[in-house]
Each structure stands twice: as C-alpha cells, then as structure tokens.
Structure 1
Amino acid sequence: MRPATTVVSAAVLVALGVLVSASVGELRLPLADVARVLAGQGDPMATLVVREFRLPRVAAAVVVGAGLALSGAILQSLARNPLASPDVLGINAGASVAAVSVVILAGSAGGVSGLASAVALPVAALVGAIASGVLLHLLALRGRALDPMRMVVIGVGISAGGTSLVSWLLTLGDVTRVGAALTWLSGSLHTATWPRTAAACLALVLAVPLLLVWVRRLDSLELGDDTARGHGVSVDRTRVGMLLLATALAGAAVSAAGAVAFVALAAPQLARGLAGTTRPPLLGSALVGAALLVWADLAARMALSWLGLGPIELPVGVLTAFVGAPYLLYLVSRERARD
C-alpha cells in the first residue's frame, strides 16, 4: 500500500471512529445526529451529550494516539530499531514515577485532589518524561555523538529503574491512593477534559513545523551518518533535537491520558508495513496511532456491556497492552530471525 493510500485510509478510520465513539453510550445517537452536532446544527440534547460528555474523550484519543505514534516513529527512525519507543526507552517510566509520586505523596495527608489533580498530575508527568529524555540523551552520548544502539540499551535500563521506583512508591500509599495511581498507570481516557487535551494538542501542533524542517534530515540519516554529513546534515544536532521532540510529544500525550502502552511501539511499524517504506512515515504513523487509540478506547468502553457483563469500563491501556504484548514478542522474534 502506497504512503498516500495509507494516509487516506487511516484518516477515514479516524473520522469513522470519532463518529461511532460519539454516538455510542448509555444514550445511543444516530450517526447522522452526531454529524449534525459536529457541523453545529444538532438539537440541544444531542449537542449537550456529544460536545460536553463524549467529544472531549474522543478528541483526547485522537490527539494522544497521534502524539504517541509520532514519538515512536521518530525514536524508531533515530535508533534504526523497531523496538524503540517511549515505553521501551524509559520516557513513559519517568512520567510514571513523577505522576505516581504526586498521587502518593502530594498534600499534607498524602493523596491528590482538586487543583493538584487537575494541574500537578499532568504537569508532573510531562516534567518526568522530559527528565527521562534528558537523562537518556546524556547517558547515550559517546563522546559528543548520540549512539543509537547505546540509546536503546540505556533506555531499557531507565525503564527498569523507573518501574522499580513506581513499585516502591505504591507500597507507601493507602488503598485509595494506590488505586488512583494504578488507574493512571493503566492509561485511561475516562477523565479526559478539554484543557488536558488542548495541552497535548498544542505539543502536537508545535511539533509539526519542526518535523517538516527535519524530515529530510531523517531521510539522510537512513543512508548512514557519513552520507548524511555529505548532504550537509548536522548528524549530532539532528539526533539530539529529534530525541527531545519525541520526548516532549510522549510526555504531553502521557500527561493527558496516563501511561497508555504499546501505541507508540506498534503504530509506526504498522504504518511502515502498510506504506512499504524503509522507515515509519511520520504522517501515516500519527494517523494510524490516532485510529488505533480511538477504536481501542471504544472497545474498552463498551466491550463488557456488549458481552452482557454490565456497564463496566476497562482502562484503554489495559486493552492496548493486551494486544501490544504479543506484537512486541513478534517484533523481537522477527529481529532475531533477521540477525
């Protein structure tokens, strides 16, 4: 499938997912009514349900999925490794440590509520992700150059260390706080709000002009460092800049929805396979990631109800992890077969 066809197909899946997700719930709305609401012509009841209750969650799924997938595509291109993603390189682990610290330790009595819940938690997640990205950059330097292979190995170590810190923090809290922390760690969109979604969307919008400037540099890096330098590309600066950009995108996405697993890992490789390119296409990866998370959130929200097990929602991260773990094993086995 050509890159343009991949982009169009993924965009159609995203649009269809938005319509279906906004129509399904305790009050079912026809797709035509949802379309009229989005066009500004719906009746008051449908407008209230769609715009105030459902659309923030759907918009968060689109923005978070696109941000995670774009971050994964950048990291996989830099490392020349399909296993490179914010999950594997410790960026999400840094966000998790910071967020869980706020949930467990914030406030005089511990716990988080009110302003701390609305502001401190997402800000802490963003800061933690950026701190992990900076640490990854510093430790992965060989001389003054960023070593892609070393970056992956050190990232796995940072991820393991972050997971250990999170486990220790969870032993300090009571049941209520630990439950809130575990919900965040699972990755969930049920608390999505317009302000959180807007922050993640802002990071995505700011990233696009930079990517348009740097996309040719990524193409040159695919040909090797010496060839890239021959094309006038500053290899070291490009790698550092792209690493920081990928970290910011992942941090903004995680701050909006928690530690949603495997979207950043799987979406770029799916987009690359569909497009038939040598590296993950950036726009195709973003749209595939958005489509994956929109449909995954719909399934997590409604699957148990459709099975007759009651109106119980699953965190979307549980579903993406359930599907993504076998995919990770497949990627590992494929890389071993190539070696």
Structure 2
Amino acid sequence: METRVDFFSWLDYDMLMRILMCLEDPSDLVRVSSVSRSWREFVVANGLFKQLCLRMFPWLHRVDRVIEPNCCVKNSSEVGCSKSVEWETLEREHRVYAFLARGCTLFARREDCIAGALSASSTDNYPEESIRNTLEPHDRVLRRASYWSSKGQSNPAVPETLTYKLVADICVITEISVRPFQAFFQWGSPIYSAKSVRFRMGHPKAPVDDPMGEPCDNFADDNFVWTYTSPEFAMAQENRLQKFELPEPVLCIGGILQVELLGRVQKQEMDGLFYICVSHVQVVGRPLSPPFSVEILEPSGKFVLKASSYTPPLLAENGSCPGPNAYFEGPARDLEQILHLLRGEGVVVEYDWNEEDELDDEMAL
C-alpha cells in the first residue's frame, strides 16, 4: 500500500482503549508511544503506563503522587495555565510509571534481598540461637550449629514469627525459601520444622532500628502495617532449603518481611516441649532502589513514589559490577533507549520492524 492511514483516527475512544489495555509488556507501550506525536499524546493523556503498573501491582493504588529527579522537574514559571500543569503531571506520571514497569523486569534479580534481622517472636537461648543465625546459608559455622530456635511450648498450635528488613524500601519479591534445622547433636537427629509457613510484607509505622543492631524478641505487630499476606504453604520435615514461590510477584512497599511459622511438629525429648528451629531464610527479588524510593504518609497509609534517578542500578545478575559497556548490550541497552525516549530526546529506538511496517514521514516522530 502506497497510502498509509493512521488507524487511531478510524476507531472510537472505547475501542482504542480496549485494544491498548490488552498490552501487558511495557516495551509494547513504548513502541506505541514512539510511532507519532498523536499516539504518544493518547498514551500519556490516558495514563496507560500507570494503568499497566496498577494491573501488575495493585498496591500502587496507594500512591499519593509521584516525584521525578530534580533535573527533570520544570520551573513553575514555565508551566503556565492549569491545563499545562495538568499535562505536566500526566507527562511526569508517564515517565515514572514507564521506568517502573520496565525496571520491574530488567533490574538485576538478587537472591540475597534480606538486609538484616529485626525480631523473633521468641528465642530459646540468646544469642546462641538468635534469629541472626538464619542469615547464614549453612547450618554449621566454625563447626558450631547455626540456627534460630523458638521457646518450647506444650501446645503445638502456638505460632512463631521472624521479621526482617529487606535491602530496599521498594522491591519486587518473587519467592522465599526456608530451611528447617536438623539437630544433629540430639539423639535421632530430629528436624524442628513448622507444619506450614506464611509470609507478610509491609512497612513500619515509625523508623525501625538499624537492622545490623541487636534483634529483639516479641516486637509487636502493631509497629507495622501489613499490605500483603501470602497463602499458607505446607512445609516438609526435611533438612533442605524449601522454596515457596509466590502466586504472583509482590511489590513490597516499605521493605519489611515477616515469616509466620504455623504449627509445631517436633517435640524435644529432654523437656517434652514442642520447638520450631530455622537455619536459613532466603528472599529472591528485584530491588528497585536506588532509582526508586518511597515516603510513607501516615496515618493515611498512602505513599509518595520517588524516581530518584533514571539510571539503572549498576548491578549484574550475579551481584557483581558490570563492565563499562554492559548497559549498551541486551535488555539494558533497550532500557537505555527507552529512557531517552521517555525524556523526549528524539532518539530513534531500534526495534526489529520490517521495512514494510515502517511509517511514512508524516507519522514518524
């Protein structure tokens, strides 16, 4: 066809929205917004990136407002009328949510998302059996057993909790692993597992102590607001790291994780009481800091989403620092191009379009 037509002008608003709301990959929306000015204005005006993020992470409904890096904020004298102010807000949300959506899939995946231990509901012998031992991947350190142990209970239904601070105040968590402890120094080498486990994520009501400080016992749940609670997962009476994959990726806002250990299985022969013991807890996810941070607005529970930088964190998949050209290869290079586009710098994004699919000069940016 020598004559090309913008099909946006042929469809009504409801049909266009129905089509574009079917796009689930952020790259597809970037492609749509890069076709022409009119297509980009439609994406921005209808907040399609924001709506995509809300479908990915419903917890973002609690966002009060978004903030960009200072270098991207326009002077108020440049804004002008209220209509310009409204459009600038839409543009800002477009850039921030687009970077967030893409970052949730391209930022480095880490298997060590715990920054430190905050508290345990109880500890049998402190500090020998402290929750801090659960940060070690091995159940023996320097030939000594490394594990956390609850206090003994005659009622096997009494639960226990372990609370941790994550490496970022905002991160995407996909799976959590727990390894019960096998007491190799007791007769029969019993395994002190819980019957099941459940996970909660949220944020503190007030700043918490340094996670590298001394963890405490029985830190009241009233100090936290839990925004997510997982299903209950059955645990096996086995001495291995048991992986529990969440039904869907969870956006943890506030950086607090609590492991709920439900039900007791093993009774200690010495005193006839039931105990739960854990040797290691591991959290897998994608920290979204330092590019993103959050400010909790109490008592409403809403928060400010801050894009502190539009630069992807310099961290490779294995946790090492990449080479100087790493961000111009593969997916990271794609993200770099997307950032240029979102800033309106007119960079041509090199998608693998066929020549016959290219638009004519009137439709190009």
TM over 0.5: no
Q: Which has the higher contact order (CA 8 A, sep 6+)?
A: 1
TM-score (ref. length: structure 1) = 0.24
Structure number with the higher strand fraction is 2
Structure number with the higher helix fraction is 1
TM-score (ref. length: structure 2) = 0.23
